[in-house]
């Protein structure tokens, strides 16, 4: 076994590691006496002991050895920490290397600084206990486990000089997201992307259990990693001196392997999938901590997970053990009297932006360049009259995205992500410019695959989301399209990302990143063919629970509004933008000029569609493409069956306009809302999602008692598109009935209309069961302005609120 470290270097590195461990323990326990200059007293101890010791010494060990490689090779390395609850370790390291004080000048490397460092940790109005956004160099909190390796791969894409070292906890390795993440190596191009170095940290235990990967045979574990396509290297032990030499040697090996792979690929322009190295590091949980407490083993067991010694107030023995433990790191060797980390050790760390705490990739906003965006209006569908022309909205968008892709090919900072659904969602025009990334075997009949493709497709929503997050967090742009129902698979990942965005908004040193853009298509109303399992519009509700300054929800009713919304989202920063749009041929309602106006306002009266805008009996509102279609059809039926009914049509694109302006920055002021929805007229609201969401957004509005919402009520199966509407009472006949029945002055006149609409619904049911498709009256229905305001007045297709 080579011993690459001189005795001098070994001494320094071990001292550095001890310092990091010492500061980690100090953060968990102490609020005073940071250098143990006087005997530890209970008054030095925090009242609540919060933090995770178990993983920390291992994280510190890896940090140290990465530092050595960085210094030796001036390597550009960032550190993604799966066991992100090991906050004290990363805080300690970024403090020792000076990043912390640079970002937070109030905390300097002196006695006072150490005191504050310890005290702030897990302290109210201090810093969180995990590797939170507050921690320099982090793009990954790791509170919820499973996403580290995906974030690492996302960061490595299009960053050929970057090595992303990613610690995967053996607990985390049991999660679904992580288990499939290993396959990311089939999507990395060794010529144009950076490298990911996975380090599986087998410390053997989770909160309360051993880990699976620590308890299978070495042969199985090696097979597993080789099966995933890696070249695994193992390091096992607990003697620091031995482990430092072994780890240094191993780091040299894997660094050389990575560079050899890259040199080969780049010199020979051979992007063929290499067998990337990875490390399996087996060290004791809570390494260097108390071996035994109260007669029970702690180091090397799950008992070391959080705070190995507690009850210090009641148990002076434990207090003494803590002092012994902390002194075992020999703080007096490490820090001078003033609390300054001694220079001879500090010099082991890299300088400037090479410090992992200061790597600009980990503060992606610093590197972010705006996308080059073609004018979306150029992709407009020509619409001489509302509803005259059909278009597949997402296919139209695909043309725009293709050119966004083209315009940014050189910058290499835009990618499209999708779980095997890009073509199904009809965005396949992008393949004309860039293929689907694939670095596994190819076969003659394959189409649109490319080892340099910028479309990321794999049948895992987790992988798409995780890669995209990693890509965005390191300062690039992306677009994720997904079947609406199955986006729930990454509910929790979205949740964690939204939390990250919320916290980083308030950290001035963290620069804004590009928004996370979701396009949900193949949505609930057009999953008639795949059936009930594919029908769920609930992601909207989920998003709406997050902080208003983070989330945006758009329901463009047609192709032109989709273009306008999508372009806006691609320009935006630090949001989560949710767009729901259909892929089937559907009427285009607005020409581009009106579409832009409508989207800018977020909602508006479609005066061309109503027949009596000024003083309506009823407001027919809609949000979503299918609800808009059904509403306009309902309005047509109303006009022909009951022309004296005065109808105003309102369409909502930006759902957050429904909320009060106090709740959401896009919220419409109450007086505007009242003008549009009236103060006292019935509102029949056809909504894409679950009806309750509209109620919850509008419950503070003047007229909310009169808002009657139709939407998805969890009814569905394999059937026809129109039958989906009927089963959920969102169909044109039901909406027309709703309108008629809510207007008292129509009571007597409406009987024939009510009968007609009711019969239509029955007729439909008989027709579809008999013929297996929607009745021609529905299929062939076209909007006609006959009897509408558009016929009566000069055409104004705009969504003018005034």
Which positions from 106 through 135 interact with its own copies, judged by CB under 8 A?
Answer: 119, 122-130, 132
Which of 483, 781 has the CB closer to its own copies? Answer: 483
Closest CA to 201 of 172, 163, 176, 238: 172
Residue 234 touching its own copies (CB under 8 A) = no
- Dihedral angle over CA of 91, 92, 96, 98, nearest 10: 10
Query: Rounded to an integer, what distance in angstroms lies between the CA atom of residue 173 and that of residue 381?
Result: 48
- Measured from the CB of residue 229, what is the shortest distance to its own copies in angstroms? 6
Helix, coil or strand: residue 663: coil
Q: If DSSP states are collapsed to H, E and C, what string results for 240-263?
A: HHHHHHHHHHHHHHHHHHHHHHHH
Select from 239-247, 254-262, 349-357, 439-447 the region that touches its own copies (CB under 8 A). Answer: 439-447
Answer for the pair 566, 397: CB distance below 8 angstroms, yes or no: yes
- Measured from the CB of residue 14, what is the shortest distance to its own copies in angstroms? 28
Which of 291, 511 has the CB closer to its own copies? Answer: 291
- Measured from the CB of residue 699, what is the shortest distance to its own copies in angstroms? 5
Answer for the pair 596, 377: CB distance below 8 angstroms, yes or no: yes
Which of 2, 176 has the CB closer to its own copies? Answer: 176
Contacts of 369 (CB under 8 A, 6+ apart): 411, 413, 475
- Measured from the CB of residue 39, what is the shortest distance to its own copies in angstroms? 22
Site for its own copies (CB under 8 A): which residue of 392, 536, 613, 654?
536
- Measured from the CB of residue 790, what is the shortest distance to its own copies in angstroms? 34
- Measured from the CB of residue 630, what is the shortest distance to its own copies in angstroms? 18
Which of 233, 462 has the CB closer to its own copies? Answer: 462
Which positions from 484 through 523 interact with its own copies, judged by CB under 8 A?
Answer: 485-486, 488-489, 491-492, 495-496, 499, 502-503
Token duo for residue 68: 């050595």
Token duo for residue 405: 């892709």
Which of 186, 675 has the CB closer to its own copies? Answer: 186
Contacts of 128 (CB under 8 A, 6+ apart): 87, 122, 134
Q: For the residues of 377-413, what is the DSSP string, one character each?
A: GGGPPP-SSTTSSEEEHHHHHHHHHHHHHHHTTTTT-
Residue 212 touching its own copies (CB under 8 A) = yes
Which of 106, 441 has the CB closer to its own copies? Answer: 441
Select from 7-15, 382-390, 534-542, 616-624 the region that touches its own copies (CB under 8 A). Answer: 534-542
Q: How far is CA 571 from CA 376, 394, 482, 515, 759, in A?
A: 12, 19, 20, 8, 49
| Total number of residues that touch its own copies (CB under 8 A) | 123
Which of 183, 666 has the CB closer to its own copies? Answer: 183
Which positions from 547 through 576 interact with its own copies, judged by CB under 8 A?
Answer: 547
- Measured from the CB of residue 586, what is the shortest distance to its own copies in angstroms? 17
Query: Rounded to an integer, what distance in angstroms lies between the CA atom of residue 113 and that of residue 34?
Result: 10
Buried b (16+ CB within 10 A) or exposed e, 180-210: bbbbbbebbbbbbbbbbbbbbbbbbbbeeee
Query: Rounded to an integer, what distance in angstroms lies between the CA atom of residue 284 and that of residue 299?
Result: 6
Site for its own copies (CB under 8 A): which residue of 608, 690, 733, 783?
690
Residue 229 touching its own copies (CB under 8 A) = yes
Which positions from 593 through 652 interact with its own copies, judged by CB under 8 A?
Answer: none
CB-side neighbour CA atoms (13 Å) of 139 = 39
Answer for the pair 529, 774: CB distance below 8 angstroms, yes or no: no
How, if at all, do strands 683-687 and 618-623 pair?
Answer: parallel
Which positions from 366 through 405 interact with its own copies, judged by CB under 8 A?
Answer: none
Query: Rounded to an integer, what distance in angstroms lies between the CA atom of residue 461 and that of residue 223?
Result: 26
- Measured from the CB of residue 175, what is the shortest distance to its own copies in angstroms? 5
Closest CA to 164 of 102, 254, 245, 96: 254
Which positions from 23 through 52 interact with its own copies, judged by CB under 8 A?
Answer: 31, 46-48, 50
Which positions from 165 through 194 interact with its own copies, judged by CB under 8 A?
Answer: 171-172, 174-181, 183, 186
**Cα-Cα-Cα-Cα dihedral sign, residues 253, 255, 261, 263:** negative
- Measured from the CB of residue 494, what is the shortest distance to its own copies in angstroms? 9
Which of 301, 561 has the CB closer to its own copies? Answer: 301
Closest CA to 402 of 380, 381, 374: 374
Select from 347-355, 386-394, 591-599, 763-771 the region that touches its own copies (CB under 8 A). Answer: 763-771
- Measured from the CB of residue 736, what is the shortest distance to its own copies in angstroms? 22
Residue 264 touching its own copies (CB under 8 A) = no
Query: Rounded to an integer, what distance in angstroms lies between the CA atom of residue 528 and that of residue 542?
Result: 23
Query: Rounded to an integer, what distance in angstroms lies between the CA atom of residue 18 and that of residue 12?
Result: 10
- Measured from the CB of residue 211, what is the shortest distance to its own copies in angstroms? 7
Site for its own copies (CB under 8 A): which residue of 158, 594, 723, 731?
723
- Measured from the CB of residue 690, what is the shortest distance to its own copies in angstroms? 5
- Measured from the CB of residue 422, what is the shortest distance to its own copies in angstroms? 7
Residue 545 touching its own copies (CB under 8 A) = yes
Query: Rounded to an integer, what distance in angstroms lies between the CA atom of residue 82 and that of residue 90?
Result: 12
Select from 57-65, 213-221, 241-249, 252-260 the region that touches its own copies (CB under 8 A). Answer: 213-221
Q: Which residue has the tokens 């508006």?
A: 604
Site for its own copies (CB under 8 A): which residue of 3, 323, 452, 541?
541
Site for its own copies (CB under 8 A): which residue of 342, 546, 641, 742?
546
- Measured from the CB of residue 385, what is the shortest distance to its own copies in angstroms? 29
Site for its own copies (CB under 8 A): which residue of 44, 392, 457, 731?
457
Answer for the pair 305, 204: CB distance below 8 angstroms, yes or no: no
Which of 381, 544 has the CB closer to its own copies? Answer: 544
Site for its own copies (CB under 8 A): which residue of 531, 643, 665, 776?
531
Which of 576, 592 has the CB closer to its own copies? Answer: 576
Site for its own copies (CB under 8 A): which residue of 224, 373, 389, 411?
224
Query: Rounded to an integer, what distance in angstroms lies between the CA atom of residue 535 and that of residue 281?
Result: 44
Q: For the residues of 178-245, what is the DSSP string, one character each?
A: HHHHGGGGGG--TTTS-EEEEEEEE--B-SSSB-TTTSS-HHHHHHHHHHTT-EEEEEE---HHHHHH
**Cα-Cα-Cα-Cα dihedral sign, residues 290, 294, 298, 304:** negative
Which positions from 49 through 108 interact with its own copies, judged by CB under 8 A?
Answer: 50, 85
Select from 157-165, 459-467, 554-562, 641-649 the region that touches its own copies (CB under 8 A). Answer: 459-467
Which positions from 274 through 333 interact with its own copies, judged by CB under 8 A?
Answer: 297, 300-301
Site for its own copies (CB under 8 A): which residue of 316, 571, 669, 771?
771
| Angle of CA points 144, 540, 379, to nearest 5° | 115
Answer for the pair 307, 289: CB distance below 8 angstroms, yes or no: no
Site for its own copies (CB under 8 A): which residue of 242, 260, 459, 507?
459
Query: Rounded to an integer, what distance in angstroms lies between the CA atom of residue 240 and that of residue 248?
Result: 12
Which of 407, 548 has the CB closer to its own copies? Answer: 548
Site for its own copies (CB under 8 A): which residue of 421, 484, 617, 625?
421
- Measured from the CB of residue 522, what is the shortest distance to its own copies in angstroms? 11
Which of 49, 645 has the CB closer to its own copies? Answer: 49
Site string for its own copies, 146-165 (x = CB under 8 A): x-------------------
Q: Which helix (H) or strand (E) holds 751?
A: helix 751-771
Answer for the pair 634, 732: CB distance below 8 angstroms, yes or no: yes
């Amino acid at each position: 076994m080579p011993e690459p470290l001189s005795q001098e270097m070994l001494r320094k590195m071990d001292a550095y590691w001890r310092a990091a461990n010492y500061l980690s323990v100090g953060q968990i326990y102490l609020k005073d006496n940071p250098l143990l200059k006087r005997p530890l007293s209970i008054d030095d101890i925090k009242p609540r002991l919060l933090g995770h010791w178990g993983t920390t010494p291992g994280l510190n060990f890896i940090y140290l050895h990465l530092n050595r490689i960085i210094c030796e090779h001036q390597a550009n390395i960032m550190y993604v920490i799966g066991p992100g609850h090991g906050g004290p370790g990363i805080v300690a390291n970024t403090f020792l290397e000076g990043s912390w004080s640079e970002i937070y000048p109030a905390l300097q490397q002196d006695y006072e600084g150490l005191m504050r460092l310890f005290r702030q940790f897990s302290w109210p109005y201090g810093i969180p206990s995990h590797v939170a956004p507050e921690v320099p160099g982090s793009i990954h909190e790791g509170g919820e486990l499973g996403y580290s390796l995906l974030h690492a791969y996302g960061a490595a894409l299009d960053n050929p000089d970057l090595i992303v070292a990613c610690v995967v906890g053996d607990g985390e390795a049991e999660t679904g997201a992580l288990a499939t993440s290993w396959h990311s190596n089939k999507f990395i191009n060794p010529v144009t992307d950076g490298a990911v170095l996975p380090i599986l940290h087998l410390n053997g235990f989770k909160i309360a259990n051993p880990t699976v990967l620590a308890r299978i045979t070495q042969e199985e574990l090696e097979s597993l990693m080789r099966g995933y396509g890696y070249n695994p290297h193992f390091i096992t032990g607990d003697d620091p001196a031995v482990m430092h030499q072994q780890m240094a040697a191993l780091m040299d090996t894997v660094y050389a392997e990575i560079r050899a792979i890259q040199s080969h690929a780049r010199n020979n322009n051979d992007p063929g999938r290499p067998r990337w190295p990875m490390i399996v590091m087996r060290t004791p949980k809570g390494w260097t901590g108390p071996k035994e407490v109260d007669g029970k083993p702690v180091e090397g067991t799950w008992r070391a997970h959080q705070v190995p010694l507690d009850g210090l107030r009641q148990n002076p023995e434990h207090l003494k053990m803590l002092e012994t433990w902390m002194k075992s790191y020999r703080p007096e060797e490490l820090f001078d009297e003033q609390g300054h980390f001694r220079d001879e050790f500090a010099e082991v760390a890299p300088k400037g932006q090479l410090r992992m705490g200061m790597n600009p990739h980990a503060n992606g906003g610093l590197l972010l360049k705006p996308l080059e965006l073609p004018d979306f209006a150029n992709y407009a569908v020509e619409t001489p009259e509302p509803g005259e022309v059909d278009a597949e909205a997402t296919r139209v968008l695909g043309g725009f995205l293709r050119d966004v892709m083209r315009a940014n090919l050189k910058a290499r900072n835009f990618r499209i992500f999708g779980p095997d659904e890009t073509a199904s969602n009809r965005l396949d025009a992008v393949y004309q410019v860039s293929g689907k990334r694939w670095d596994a075997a190819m076969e003659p009949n394959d189409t649109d695959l490319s080892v340099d493709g910028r479309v990321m497709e794999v049948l895992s929503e987790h992988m798409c989301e995780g890669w995209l997050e990693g890509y965005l967090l390191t300062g690039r742009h992306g677009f994720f399209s997904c079947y609406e129902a199955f986006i729930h698979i990454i509910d929790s990942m979205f949740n964690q990302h939204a939390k990250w965005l919320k916290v980083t908004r308030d950290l001035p040193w963290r620069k804004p990143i590009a928004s996370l853009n979701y396009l949900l298509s193949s949505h609930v109303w057009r999953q008639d063919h795949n059936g009930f399992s594919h029908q769920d519009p609930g992601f909207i509700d989920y998003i709406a629970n997050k902080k208003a300054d983070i989330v945006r929800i758009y329901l463009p009713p047609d192709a032109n509004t989709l273009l306008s919304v999508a372009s806006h989202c691609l320009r935006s920063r630090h949001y989560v933008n949710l767009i729901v749009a259909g892929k089937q041929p559907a009427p285009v309602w607005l020409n581009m000029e009106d579409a832009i106006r409508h989207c800018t306002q977020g909602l508006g009266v479609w005066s061309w569609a109503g027949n009596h805008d000024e003083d309506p009996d009823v407001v027919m509102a809609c949000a979503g493409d299918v609800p808009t279609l059904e509403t306009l059809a309902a309005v047509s039926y109303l006009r022909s069956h009951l022309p004296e009914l005065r109808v105003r049509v309102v369409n909502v694109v930006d759902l957050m306009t429904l909320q009060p302006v106090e709740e959401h920055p896009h919220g419409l002021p109450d007086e505007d809302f009242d003008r549009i929805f009236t103060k006292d007229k019935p509102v029949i609201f056809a909504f894409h999602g679950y009806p309750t969401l509209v109620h919850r957004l509008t419950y503070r509005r003047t007229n909310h008692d009169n808002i009657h919402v139709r939407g998805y009520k969890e009814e569905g199966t394999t059937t026809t598109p129109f039958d989906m509407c009927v089963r959920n009472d969102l169909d044109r006949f039901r909406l027309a009935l709703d309108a008629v029945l809510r207007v008292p002055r129509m009571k007597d006149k409406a009987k024939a209309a009510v009968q007609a609409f009711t019969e239509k619904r029955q007729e439909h049911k008989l027709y579809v069961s008999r013929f297996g498709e929607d009745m021609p009256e529905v299929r062939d229905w076209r909007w006609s302005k006959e009897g509408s305001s558009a016929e009566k007045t000069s055409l104004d297709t705009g969504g003018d609120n005034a």
